[in-house]
């Protein structure tokens, strides 16, 4: 009798849960409908997906939780809910851009008219482009090579400052290093891409040629301290190890280190930077091309607020997370083989606040206007627990190695 009573009580409790779940799902659907309406508004007003102040305000609502034991899980729940909302907005805007692209192609076939094409720096004549660092940096070189030397630009202290400036509308595009052929991916930029929800609209490969710079008249034997970005120091480790008495000091940017030496007045200090930095800050080159690897390239990405698909777009970047179960990664990767797509790169990054869970950043050849690519992307999304389209743009970096 007691066992039957317990089963009845458990069933009653479960019925209560079922009712609450139904209410939650109806509220979830209503919330996501509002999210779609917000996506429409953001698109119409050229606003970014991420709004940190808004999310902070939403999280303050957790104070209505009366049971303190539920406060932390409630915060995790709301963070995940907002993550879902951002993904839906990104997916919605991505579909809008892809639909627009397909319409242009279809109209060309029916009417013989040429589709409207977006081209590098000439989207509008008065754009401003941001980059991290100061003039003379490799980021500035990538900007000049991609957009042209006469483009209006703004230098910013950090990678995140570039994202913030883009979010506020202070710049139209940003230029950021994403990976180096010797030292690999730049984790901070990968993380910021997903956090802010911006898109890669282009890329530029820059051959990195590091030089040891010092004030005119300084000699190699005079040097006691060498300044540069940590990655530049690492990329020149063989040369630096041949001078073990030197004190190595990190700077935020190679050009910053060159400027610092130019202003120091010290004959005992040197910087590792490019030739343009030497010219800008009045330095002489003590040793040229001191990289460990002569084939040293950095891939820079151009980021924008919206997904831009051009006729020449032939490379796609996306981020996915997968479930912790056998075969989950295989299922995602199988869509490339099944659809005959060439995967160019896959890299993993830990997911914040989710120990031992990872985001996979994937690059592959293709255009979102292609039905085969569209089918592959659809399958990847269905087999992922998280999906974010990062961009569809024209490849540049791989041309260096052909």
From the candidates 298, 336, 364, 387, which is the catalytic residue? 298
Q: Which tokens go with 23?
A: 């209410």
Query: In the structure encoding, which two tokens stand for residue 365, read together?
Result: 């050849």
Contacts of 4 (CB under 8 A, 6+ apart): none
Question: Which of 383, 268, 367 is CA-nearest to residue 322?
Answer: 383
Helices (H) and strands (E) in the chain, counts: 12, 15
> What does each C-alpha distance from 292 to 154, 211, 241, 300 come to in angstroms?
31, 12, 11, 20
- Tell me how far apart the alpha carbons of residues 206 and 362 are, in angstroms, rounded to a whole number: 21
Contact 341, 376 (CB under 8 A): yes
- Residue 47: Cβ-neighbour burial (10 angstroms; 0-12, 13-18, 19+): middle
| 128 counts as catalytic | no
For residue 88, report the phi and psi dihedrals to the nearest 5 degrees: -65, -40
Cβ proximity of 276 and 134 under 8 Å: no
Report whether 145 contacts 297 (CB < 8 A): no
Known catalytic membership, residue 387: no
Catalytic residue among 131, 147, 182, 300: 300
Cβ neighbours of residue 79 under 8 Å, at least 6 residues apart?
59, 353
State the catalytic residues. Answer: 298, 300
């Amino acid at each position: 009798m007691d066992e039957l009573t317990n089963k009845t009580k458990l069933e009653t409790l479960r019925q209560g849960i079922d009712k609450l779940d139904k209410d939650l799902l109806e509220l979830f659907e209503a919330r996501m409908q509002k999210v779609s309406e917000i996506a429409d508004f953001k698109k119409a007003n050229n606003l970014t997906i991420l709004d940190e102040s808004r999310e902070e305000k939403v999280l303050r609502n957790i104070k209505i939780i009366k049971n303190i034991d539920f406060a932390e899980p409630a915060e995790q729940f709301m963070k995940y809910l907002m993550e879902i909302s951002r993904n839906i907005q990104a997916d919605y805007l991505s579909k809008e851009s892809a639909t627009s692209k397909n319409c242009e192609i279809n109209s060309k076939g029916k009417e013989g008219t040429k589709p409207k094409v977006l081209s590098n720096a000439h989207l509008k004549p008065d754009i401003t482009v941001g980059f991290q660092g100061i003039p003379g940096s490799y980021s500035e070189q990538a900007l000049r090579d991609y957009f042209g030397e006469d483009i209006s630009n703004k230098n910013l202290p950090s990678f995140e400052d570039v994202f913030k400036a883009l979010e506020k509308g202070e710049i139209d595009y940003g230029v950021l290093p994403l990976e180096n052929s010797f030292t690999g991916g730049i984790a901070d930029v990968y993380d910021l891409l997903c956090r802010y929800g911006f898109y890669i609209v282009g890329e530029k490969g820059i051959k990195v040629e590091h030089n040891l710079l010092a004030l005119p008249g300084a000699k190699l034997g005079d040097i006691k301290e060498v300044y540069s970005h940590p990655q530049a120091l690492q990329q020149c480790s063989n040369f630096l190890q041949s001078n073990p008495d030197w004190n190595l000091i990190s700077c935020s940017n190679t050009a910053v280190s060159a400027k610092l030496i130019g202003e120091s007045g010290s004959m005992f200090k040197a910087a590792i930077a490019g030739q343009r930095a030497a010219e800008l800050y009045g330095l002489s080159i003590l040793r040229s091309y001191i990289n460990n690897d002569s084939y040293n390239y950095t891939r820079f990405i151009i980021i924008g607020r919206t997904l831009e698909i051009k006729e020449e777009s032939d490379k796609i970047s996306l981020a996915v997370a997968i479930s912790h179960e056998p075969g989950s990664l295989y299922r995602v990767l199988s869509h490339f083989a099944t659809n005959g797509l060439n995967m160019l790169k896959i890299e993993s990054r830990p997911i914040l606040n989710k120990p031992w869970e990872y985001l996979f950043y994937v690059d592959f050849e293709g255009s979102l206007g292609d039905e085969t690519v569209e089918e592959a992307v659809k399958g990847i999304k269905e087999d992922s627990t998280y999906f974010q389209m990062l961009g569809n743009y024209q490849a540049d970096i791989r041309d260096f190695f052909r």
